[in-house]
Amino acid sequence: MRVLEPDNRQGTARINGPLQLQQVRDGLATRRLGTNLHYFAEIDSTNAYARRLAEQGAGEGAVIIAEAQTRGRGRLGRSWVSPPFVNLYFSVILRPRLPPVHAPQLTLMAAVALADTIASFIGTPPAIKWPNDILVGGKKLAGVLTESSCDAERIEFVILGIGVNLNYPVALMPEVIRERATSIVTLTKNNISREAFVRRLIQDLDRCYGELEEVGFDSLALRWEAFFGLRGKGVRVEMTDHIMIGTAKGIDRDGALIVEDDRGERQRIVAGDVFPLED
């Protein structure tokens, strides 16, 4: 698919094609992330490749970008539709100085950084759906998938994977996801510079990651809550062995979702899918 990019404040007009890494590097100002960029026309999964690199000793901050994935994955083993030249499929290796109990904070940190980046391109704040999806108008625009290797004492590495629908019109998406997905081009009516988006995302991740390690999760938690669209609303939480109905109250310090049930008792949800109740 070839799409002509109109003028916009985030990048210059050109026809969609392979990502230009030098344009990503130009102006990239980070402390740890993005120092080493790996680029592929096609790969099985950026997360899988990043894990292989990490297991071989690759340093923190290595970024893997692919134009297309043959086995792109979302949360809970779901597939991620990965057409070439229009979206972002991205993974980064982290080696955080955090105890394993705080590993879920990295997913929430990444969601804040991703929401910040997206807001700068669409002009309005998106919503975070706990724990890892970014929604606009109730439709999925982006997602985060974190995978870690750790023992009881320390985190060896974390693979932070991100997929974003950028210049992918909803009309061209598979019918199975068309009703529940969106993209930046659909929202703004303008294609954007993917290079500008990648550069901004790496910088926002670098900033939020540094904040998490240096001052802790509290300030990031407040910003996550500001993006959380279901606070105080009725939700259905689908877990492996049961379904819970209640009111979403926010998150705790470890990143668990707090849901108040019909008896007024607060429950910690550490894994599951959350859906708003119909009004």
Whether a cis peptide bond, with omega within 30° of 0, leads into 131 is yes
Q: What is the pTM of this model?
A: 0.89
Total domains in the chain come to 2
List the domain range (segments joined by +) for residue 238.
234-276
Judge if 85 and 38 occupy the same domain.
Answer: yes
Judge if 162 and 133 occupy the same domain.
Answer: yes
Judge if 218 and 246 occupy the same domain.
Answer: no
User: Terminal CA-to-CA distance of the chain, rounded, Å?
Assistant: 40
| pLDDT of amino acid 255 | 85
Cα gap 59→157, rounded to integer Å: 9
Q: How far is CA 70 from CA 67, 79, 112, 182, in A?
A: 10, 10, 28, 21
Torsion of Cα atoms, 20 then 21 then 22 then 27, to 10°: 110
For the stretch 14-51, pLDDT in tens is 446 899 999 999 989 999 999 899 999 999 999 999 99
Q: What is the CATH number of the domain that holds 89?
A: 3.30.930.10
Judge if 151 and 267 occupy the same domain.
Answer: no
Cα gap 7→192, rounded to integer Å: 9
Strand ranges for the chain from DSSP E: 36-40, 62-66, 88-94, 127-129, 133-136, 139-150, 155-164, 234-238, 243-251, 257-260, 266-269, 273-276
The answer to whether the CB of 103 falls within 8 A of the CB of 148 is yes
Q: Classify residue 143: in a domain, yes or no.
A: yes
- The last residue of one of the domains, among 209, 227, 245, is 227
Residue 138 Rama label (left phi>0; alpha psi -120 to 50; beta): left
Q: Classify residue 12: in a domain, yes or no.
A: no
Judge if 202 and 247 occupy the same domain.
Answer: no
For the stretch 100-155, pLDDT in tens is 988 989 999 999 999 999 999 999 999 999 988 999 999 999 999 999 999 888 99
Strongest mean pLDDT among 82-96, 107-121, 173-187, 231-245:
107-121
Average pLDDT taken over every residue of the chain: 88
